[in-house]
């Protein structure tokens, strides 16, 4: 990908590298700030995908994005107002508001004053997080898919493959997990897997015989999934020209990596629309609450949308457990690994793995982008 290529080729490469990108970057330490105010409308690509995957009209999609942006800004204030009584929060699509769980009624008025709805619960977020941490220390069998704190249920939810719920090792794991705190079990049709793929011509980037998708652009490169490549491994673009190398990579335990960019390649603050829909600008990385809508761009299945189902989930892949993941109802397939998750115009994370496909549906996890930025001291590019 050289500067002497045609304008069309140059723009294609620029967009491919900038599956997520930015120019006026914010430091990773600013990740918890509310999304930057902007009057820019949502792209047609984002609205069309939300209409298709969430069953919304265009007007409903626009209204939901506005309500979710408000909920994201309210979440930090509400958490501070709840203090030690905080039990978690989630976006409620029915009311269009953030719901905050609290363990003491005395804190309810202060939380409501922030604009959130209040629900009284038994266990605080600190208690539930401690229970999950204890479960993280256990050795999980292959047919236990994942576990996370569910603020709405006020419990730790453990997902097990339905056909193996009665296996002795699964039952033993669940027995030990219940000793850690309030646990409920949910059945899932399949175990999670990563979404890397063998080499296929014409796709965004390759390393060895693996194809993955570019995540968000940062100053000096881009972030992606850790299972896609090891440190120092060479990375090549869609046209097989050299891009750079993996500068850092972690998997399992985590699933994140970053690649330096050079050799005539460069980045822009865009999520790729794949030539069939307009591209989406990235304006920040404010983390969307549970229940909010989220969309994904990947080199295999392109644009798909869903909702955030859980945060800080431990996913039990065959290669080992990965912690602090976000679970979504968005589908994905092999080759989508490393690709971009976005909510509105805010970067959320890079695709890790899941179960199912985009024909029959499924669930997909992403590694939160702010964690990656902080881990490697990177700065996200924003429009």
Q: Let me know if 39 is a catalytic residue.
A: no
- State the Cα–Cα distance between residues 240 and 262, nearest whole angstrom: 14
Spot the catalytic one: 159, 255, 279, 345: 255
Q: Residue 283: which residues within 8 A CB-CB, separation 6 or more?
A: 35, 36, 38, 40, 269, 345, 346, 382, 383
User: For residue 119, what are its two tokens?
Assistant: 């629900």
C-alpha 55/C-alpha 155 separation (Å) is 29
Query: Quick check: is 232 catalytic?
Result: no
Q: Which residues contact 69 (CB under 8 A, 6 or more apart)?
A: 35, 344
Neighbours of 342 (CB within 10 A): 27
Which element (helix H / strand E) includes 379? strand 379-380
Q: What secondary structure letter does DSSP report for 103?
A: S
Active-site residue, from 227, 302, 304, 381: 227
Provide the 8-state DSSP code for 243.
Answer: E
Instruction: For residue 302, indicate whether it is catalytic.
Output: no
Catalytic one among 285, 337, 340, 343?
337
Chain centroid, CA 159 distance in Å: 18
Distance in angstroms (rounded) separating the CA atoms of residues 253 and 248: 14
State the catalytic residues: 227, 255, 337
């Amino acid at each position: 990908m050289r500067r002497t290529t045609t304008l069309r080729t140059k723009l294609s490469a620029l967009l491919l590298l900038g599956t997520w990108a930015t120019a006026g970057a914010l430091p990773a330490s600013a990740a918890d700030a509310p999304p930057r105010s902007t009057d820019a409308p949502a792209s047609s690509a984002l609205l069309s995908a939300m209409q298709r995957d969430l069953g919304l009209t265009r007007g409903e999609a626009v209204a939901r994005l506005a309500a979710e942006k408000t909920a994201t800004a309210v979440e930090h204030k509400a958490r501070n107002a709840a203090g030690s009584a905080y039990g978690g929060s989630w976006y409620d699509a029915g009311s269009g508001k953030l719901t905050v769980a609290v363990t003491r009624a005395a804190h309810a008025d202060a939380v409501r004053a922030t604009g959130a709805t209040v629900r009284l619960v038994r266990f605080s977020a600190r208690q539930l997080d401690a229970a999950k941490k204890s479960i993280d220390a256990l050795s999980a069998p292959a047919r236990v898919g994942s576990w996370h704190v569910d603020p709405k249920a006020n419990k730790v939810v453990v997902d097990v493959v339905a056909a193996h719920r009665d296996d002795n090792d699964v039952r033993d794991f669940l027995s030990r997990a219940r000793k850690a705190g309030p646990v409920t079990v949910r059945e899932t049709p399949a175990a999670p897997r990563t979404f890397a793929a063998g080499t296929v011509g014409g796709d965004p980037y390759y390393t060895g015989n693996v194809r993955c998708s570019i995540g968000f652009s940062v100053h000096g490169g881009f972030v992606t999934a850790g299972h896609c490549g090891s440190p120092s491994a060479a990375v090549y673009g869609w046209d097989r020209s050299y891009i750079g190398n993996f500068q850092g990579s972690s998997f399992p335990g985590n699933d994140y990596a970053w690649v330096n960019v050079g050799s005539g390649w460069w980045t822009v603050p865009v999520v790729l629309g794949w030539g069939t829909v307009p591209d989406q600008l990235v304006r920040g990385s404010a983390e969307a609450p549970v229940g909010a809508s989220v969309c994904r761009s990947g080199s295999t299945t392109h644009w798909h949308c869903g909702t955030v189902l859980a945060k800080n989930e431990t996913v039990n892949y065959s290669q080992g457990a990965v912690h602090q993941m976000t679970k979504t109802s968005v589908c994905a397939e092999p080759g989508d690994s490393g690709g971009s998750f976005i909510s509105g115009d805010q970067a959320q994370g890079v695709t890790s793995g899941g179960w199912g496909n985009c024909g029959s549906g499924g669930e997909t996890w992403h590694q939160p982008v702010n964690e990656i930025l902080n881990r490697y001291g990177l700065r996200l590019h924003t429009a």
